[in-house]
Structure 1
Amino acid sequence: MADYTEQEQEQVRRAVLNAIAYVSKADPGFFAAFSESAAGARALAAAPEGLLTLLTGGFILPEAQSPEEFDASVVPDLQAAVGVVAAKDPADAQALKDVVLAAAQQVAEASKGVSPEEQQAVEKIRAALA
Protein backbone atom coordinates (compact mmCIF):
# COMPACT_ATOMS: atom_id res chain seq x y z
CA MET A 1 0.00 0.00 0.00
CA ALA A 2 1.16 3.49 -0.76
CA ASP A 3 2.00 5.85 2.07
CA TYR A 4 -0.73 8.38 2.81
CA THR A 5 -0.56 11.37 5.08
CA GLU A 6 -3.01 11.55 7.95
CA GLN A 7 -4.85 14.31 6.06
CA GLU A 8 -5.12 12.16 2.92
CA GLN A 9 -6.41 9.20 4.93
CA GLU A 10 -9.02 11.39 6.60
CA GLN A 11 -10.05 12.86 3.24
CA VAL A 12 -10.58 9.41 1.71
CA ARG A 13 -12.44 8.02 4.74
CA ARG A 14 -14.68 11.10 5.00
CA ALA A 15 -15.55 11.01 1.29
CA VAL A 16 -16.37 7.30 1.34
CA LEU A 17 -18.45 7.49 4.52
CA ASN A 18 -20.34 10.54 3.31
CA ALA A 19 -21.16 8.83 0.03
CA ILE A 20 -22.55 5.83 1.91
CA ALA A 21 -24.45 8.13 4.30
CA TYR A 22 -25.99 9.90 1.32
CA VAL A 23 -27.46 6.64 0.02
CA SER A 24 -28.71 5.75 3.48
CA LYS A 25 -30.33 9.16 3.89
CA ALA A 26 -32.27 8.62 0.67
CA ASP A 27 -34.32 5.98 2.54
CA PRO A 28 -35.17 7.58 5.87
CA GLY A 29 -36.19 5.51 8.81
CA PHE A 30 -34.80 4.58 12.17
CA PHE A 31 -34.67 0.81 11.64
CA ALA A 32 -33.53 1.11 8.02
CA ALA A 33 -30.48 3.02 9.24
CA PHE A 34 -29.28 -0.01 11.23
CA SER A 35 -29.56 -2.40 8.28
CA GLU A 36 -27.95 0.10 5.94
CA SER A 37 -25.08 0.85 8.32
CA ALA A 38 -24.35 -2.85 8.68
CA ALA A 39 -24.47 -3.34 4.91
CA GLY A 40 -22.07 -0.44 4.36
CA ALA A 41 -19.68 -1.76 7.00
CA ARG A 42 -19.70 -5.24 5.44
CA ALA A 43 -18.97 -3.79 2.00
CA LEU A 44 -16.07 -1.73 3.29
CA ALA A 45 -14.72 -4.69 5.26
CA ALA A 46 -14.50 -6.61 1.97
CA ALA A 47 -12.08 -4.04 0.52
CA PRO A 48 -8.65 -5.28 -0.55
CA GLU A 49 -6.16 -5.21 2.31
CA GLY A 50 -4.36 -2.03 1.23
CA LEU A 51 -7.61 -0.13 0.90
CA LEU A 52 -8.99 -1.60 4.09
CA THR A 53 -6.03 -0.13 5.94
CA LEU A 54 -6.69 3.23 4.29
CA LEU A 55 -10.41 3.16 5.11
CA THR A 56 -10.04 2.16 8.75
CA GLY A 57 -8.52 3.96 11.65
CA GLY A 58 -9.71 7.11 13.28
CA PHE A 59 -13.33 7.98 13.79
CA ILE A 60 -15.13 10.13 11.29
CA LEU A 61 -18.81 10.78 11.71
CA PRO A 62 -20.45 10.97 8.29
CA GLU A 63 -22.09 14.30 7.67
CA ALA A 64 -25.77 14.20 6.80
CA GLN A 65 -26.22 15.83 3.42
CA SER A 66 -29.22 17.18 1.57
CA PRO A 67 -29.24 16.43 -2.16
CA GLU A 68 -28.06 19.99 -2.77
CA GLU A 69 -25.23 19.70 -0.25
CA PHE A 70 -24.26 16.34 -1.73
CA ASP A 71 -23.96 17.83 -5.19
CA ALA A 72 -22.00 20.77 -3.82
CA SER A 73 -19.59 18.92 -1.52
CA VAL A 74 -19.72 15.14 -1.39
CA VAL A 75 -19.31 14.56 -5.12
CA PRO A 76 -16.18 16.76 -5.37
CA ASP A 77 -14.85 15.27 -2.12
CA LEU A 78 -15.33 11.75 -3.48
CA GLN A 79 -13.65 12.68 -6.76
CA ALA A 80 -10.76 14.32 -4.89
CA ALA A 81 -10.34 11.25 -2.70
CA VAL A 82 -10.11 9.01 -5.76
CA GLY A 83 -7.58 11.47 -7.18
CA VAL A 84 -5.45 11.18 -4.04
CA VAL A 85 -5.45 7.41 -4.28
CA ALA A 86 -4.88 7.43 -8.07
CA ALA A 87 -1.82 9.64 -7.66
CA LYS A 88 -0.26 7.03 -5.40
CA ASP A 89 -1.54 3.82 -7.01
CA PRO A 90 -3.92 3.69 -10.02
CA ALA A 91 -4.90 0.10 -9.24
CA ASP A 92 -5.97 1.11 -5.75
CA ALA A 93 -8.02 3.95 -7.25
CA GLN A 94 -10.04 1.50 -9.33
CA ALA A 95 -10.42 -0.78 -6.33
CA LEU A 96 -11.64 2.19 -4.27
CA LYS A 97 -14.24 3.03 -6.92
CA ASP A 98 -15.40 -0.59 -6.92
CA VAL A 99 -15.65 -0.69 -3.12
CA VAL A 100 -17.59 2.59 -2.95
CA LEU A 101 -20.03 1.48 -5.65
CA ALA A 102 -20.51 -1.92 -4.01
CA ALA A 103 -21.10 -0.28 -0.63
CA ALA A 104 -23.57 2.21 -2.09
CA GLN A 105 -25.51 -0.57 -3.82
CA GLN A 106 -25.53 -2.79 -0.74
CA VAL A 107 -26.73 0.09 1.44
CA ALA A 108 -29.52 0.78 -1.04
CA GLU A 109 -30.59 -2.87 -1.03
CA ALA A 110 -30.35 -3.34 2.74
CA SER A 111 -33.84 -2.30 3.74
CA LYS A 112 -36.94 -3.33 1.81
CA GLY A 113 -35.37 -3.17 -1.64
CA VAL A 114 -34.07 -0.19 -3.56
CA SER A 115 -36.30 2.87 -3.56
CA PRO A 116 -36.23 5.30 -6.49
CA GLU A 117 -34.52 7.84 -4.23
CA GLU A 118 -31.83 5.34 -3.28
CA GLN A 119 -31.31 4.40 -6.91
CA GLN A 120 -30.90 8.07 -7.77
CA ALA A 121 -28.32 8.45 -4.99
CA VAL A 122 -26.39 5.41 -6.24
CA GLU A 123 -26.43 6.80 -9.77
CA LYS A 124 -25.02 10.14 -8.57
CA ILE A 125 -22.19 8.28 -6.87
CA ARG A 126 -21.62 6.17 -9.97
CA ALA A 127 -21.45 9.35 -12.08
CA ALA A 128 -19.05 10.98 -9.61
CA LEU A 129 -16.73 7.99 -9.93
CA ALA A 130 -16.92 7.68 -13.71
Structure 2
Amino acid sequence: MGQQLTDDERLTLKTGAFGAVFLVSNADPGMLAMFRESFAASETLAQASGPVREALTTGPLPRLPRDSALEIESVVLPALGRALDILREKSPQDVAGYRSLVLAAADRVARAHRGVTPAEVAALDKIRSALAELA
Protein backbone atom coordinates (compact mmCIF):
# COMPACT_ATOMS: atom_id res chain seq x y z
CA MET A 1 0.00 0.00 0.00
CA GLY A 2 1.31 3.44 -0.88
CA GLN A 3 1.82 6.45 1.35
CA GLN A 4 -0.81 9.17 1.76
CA LEU A 5 -0.43 12.04 -0.71
CA THR A 6 -0.22 15.60 0.56
CA ASP A 7 -2.59 18.31 -0.67
CA ASP A 8 0.20 19.72 -2.87
CA GLU A 9 0.95 16.30 -4.32
CA ARG A 10 -2.73 15.68 -5.11
CA LEU A 11 -2.89 19.09 -6.80
CA THR A 12 0.18 18.18 -8.89
CA LEU A 13 -1.50 14.97 -10.10
CA LYS A 14 -4.67 16.91 -10.86
CA THR A 15 -2.76 19.70 -12.64
CA GLY A 16 -1.03 17.14 -14.83
CA ALA A 17 -4.18 15.18 -15.71
CA PHE A 18 -6.59 18.09 -16.16
CA GLY A 19 -3.86 20.16 -17.77
CA ALA A 20 -3.13 17.47 -20.36
CA VAL A 21 -6.80 17.43 -21.30
CA PHE A 22 -6.86 21.23 -21.48
CA LEU A 23 -3.68 21.29 -23.57
CA VAL A 24 -5.24 19.02 -26.21
CA SER A 25 -8.60 20.81 -26.09
CA ASN A 26 -6.90 24.18 -26.44
CA ALA A 27 -4.89 22.96 -29.45
CA ASP A 28 -8.06 23.13 -31.57
CA PRO A 29 -10.44 25.45 -29.70
CA GLY A 30 -14.16 25.84 -30.31
CA MET A 31 -17.21 26.09 -28.06
CA LEU A 32 -19.04 22.96 -29.27
CA ALA A 33 -15.78 21.04 -29.32
CA MET A 34 -15.06 22.13 -25.74
CA PHE A 35 -18.31 20.61 -24.45
CA ARG A 36 -17.81 17.31 -26.28
CA GLU A 37 -14.17 17.16 -25.24
CA SER A 38 -14.78 17.89 -21.56
CA PHE A 39 -17.47 15.20 -21.45
CA ALA A 40 -15.15 12.67 -23.13
CA ALA A 41 -12.33 13.50 -20.71
CA SER A 42 -14.52 13.35 -17.60
CA GLU A 43 -15.78 9.88 -18.54
CA THR A 44 -12.21 8.63 -18.82
CA LEU A 45 -10.84 10.37 -15.72
CA ALA A 46 -13.76 8.98 -13.68
CA GLN A 47 -12.25 5.53 -14.17
CA ALA A 48 -9.31 6.37 -11.88
CA SER A 49 -8.87 4.39 -8.67
CA GLY A 50 -6.95 4.58 -5.42
CA PRO A 51 -4.82 7.65 -4.71
CA VAL A 52 -5.13 8.86 -8.30
CA ARG A 53 -8.93 8.94 -8.00
CA GLU A 54 -8.64 10.75 -4.68
CA ALA A 55 -6.28 13.31 -6.23
CA LEU A 56 -8.56 13.94 -9.20
CA THR A 57 -11.80 14.20 -7.21
CA THR A 58 -10.81 16.18 -4.10
CA GLY A 59 -9.42 19.62 -3.41
CA PRO A 60 -9.32 22.72 -5.57
CA LEU A 61 -9.18 22.77 -9.33
CA PRO A 62 -5.73 23.52 -10.74
CA ARG A 63 -5.00 27.03 -11.94
CA LEU A 64 -3.94 26.77 -15.56
CA PRO A 65 -2.71 29.64 -17.72
CA ARG A 66 -5.03 30.54 -20.58
CA ASP A 67 -2.98 33.03 -22.58
CA SER A 68 -0.88 30.80 -24.81
CA ALA A 69 -0.11 27.18 -25.58
CA LEU A 70 3.49 27.72 -24.45
CA GLU A 71 2.34 28.98 -21.05
CA ILE A 72 0.00 26.01 -20.67
CA GLU A 73 2.80 23.62 -21.63
CA SER A 74 5.19 25.29 -19.18
CA VAL A 75 2.83 24.37 -16.32
CA VAL A 76 1.31 21.09 -17.51
CA LEU A 77 4.29 19.15 -18.89
CA PRO A 78 6.46 19.58 -15.76
CA ALA A 79 3.43 18.71 -13.59
CA LEU A 80 3.07 15.41 -15.46
CA GLY A 81 6.71 14.57 -14.75
CA ARG A 82 6.38 15.56 -11.09
CA ALA A 83 3.17 13.52 -10.80
CA LEU A 84 5.02 10.41 -11.99
CA ASP A 85 7.86 11.12 -9.52
CA ILE A 86 5.34 11.49 -6.67
CA LEU A 87 3.63 8.23 -7.58
CA ARG A 88 6.96 6.39 -8.00
CA GLU A 89 7.86 7.43 -4.47
CA LYS A 90 4.54 7.07 -2.68
CA SER A 91 2.40 4.68 -4.72
CA PRO A 92 4.52 2.90 -7.35
CA GLN A 93 1.70 0.53 -8.27
CA ASP A 94 -0.27 3.54 -9.60
CA VAL A 95 2.37 4.96 -11.98
CA ALA A 96 1.29 2.97 -15.03
CA GLY A 97 -2.38 3.57 -14.27
CA TYR A 98 -1.91 7.35 -14.04
CA ARG A 99 0.09 7.40 -17.27
CA SER A 100 -2.55 5.30 -19.09
CA LEU A 101 -5.43 7.33 -17.70
CA VAL A 102 -3.95 10.69 -18.73
CA LEU A 103 -3.06 9.42 -22.20
CA ALA A 104 -6.52 7.88 -22.65
CA ALA A 105 -8.28 11.08 -21.53
CA ALA A 106 -6.12 13.27 -23.80
CA ASP A 107 -6.68 10.90 -26.72
CA ARG A 108 -10.46 10.88 -26.18
CA VAL A 109 -10.45 14.68 -26.14
CA ALA A 110 -8.59 14.76 -29.45
CA ARG A 111 -11.08 12.34 -31.04
CA ALA A 112 -14.22 13.91 -29.54
CA HIS A 113 -14.87 16.50 -32.26
CA ARG A 114 -14.33 16.06 -36.02
CA GLY A 115 -11.24 13.86 -35.84
CA VAL A 116 -7.74 14.58 -34.66
CA THR A 117 -6.07 17.74 -35.98
CA PRO A 118 -2.31 18.20 -36.48
CA ALA A 119 -2.24 20.61 -33.51
CA GLU A 120 -3.88 17.96 -31.32
CA VAL A 121 -1.38 15.33 -32.52
CA ALA A 122 1.45 17.69 -31.53
CA ALA A 123 -0.09 18.22 -28.08
CA LEU A 124 -0.54 14.46 -27.62
CA ASP A 125 3.10 13.88 -28.57
CA LYS A 126 4.26 16.40 -25.94
CA ILE A 127 2.08 14.73 -23.30
CA ARG A 128 3.38 11.29 -24.30
CA SER A 129 6.98 12.57 -24.00
CA ALA A 130 6.31 14.09 -20.58
CA LEU A 131 4.89 10.75 -19.43
CA ALA A 132 7.62 8.61 -21.01
CA GLU A 133 9.33 6.14 -18.70
CA LEU A 134 12.81 7.30 -17.74
CA ALA A 135 15.49 4.94 -18.98
TM-score where L is the length of structure 1: 0.91
Aligned to 1:24: 25
Judging changes above 3 Å, is the alpha-carbon distance between structure 1 residues 116 and 68 closer, same or farther for their aligned structure 2 residues?
A: same
* Correspondences of 1:1-130 after superposition (within 5 Å): 2-61=3-62, 63=64, 64=66, 66-130=68-132
Unaligned stretches of 5+ residues in structure 1: none
In the alignment, is the contact (CA less than 8 A) between 2:46 and 2:53 conserved in 1?
yes
Structure 1 position 73, deviation (Å): 2.6
Structure 1 position 112, deviation (Å): 0.8
In the alignment, is the contact (CA less than 8 A) between 1:22 and 1:65 conserved in 2?
no
Question: What letter matches 1:107 in structure 2?
Answer: V
Question: What letter matches 2:56 in structure 1?
Answer: L
Q: Partners of 2:102 and 2:67 in 1: how far apart?
A: 17
In the alignment, is the contact (CA less than 8 A) between 1:43 and 1:103 conserved in 2?
yes
Q: Partners of 2:39 and 2:108 in 1: how far apart?
A: 9
Question: What letter matches 2:16 in structure 1?
Answer: A
In the alignment, is the contact (CA less than 8 A) between 1:17 and 1:62 conserved in 2?
no
Q: Partners of 1:71 and 1:50 in 2: how far apart?
A: 24
Deviates more, 1:54-63 or 1:12-21: 54-63
Secondary structure class of the residue paired with 2:98? helix
Unaligned stretches of 5+ residues in structure 2: none
Q: Partners of 2:131 and 2:21 in 1: how far apart?
A: 13
TM-score where L is the length of structure 2: 0.88
Secondary structure class of the residue paired with 1:83? helix
Q: Partners of 1:88 and 1:61 in 2: how far apart?
A: 21
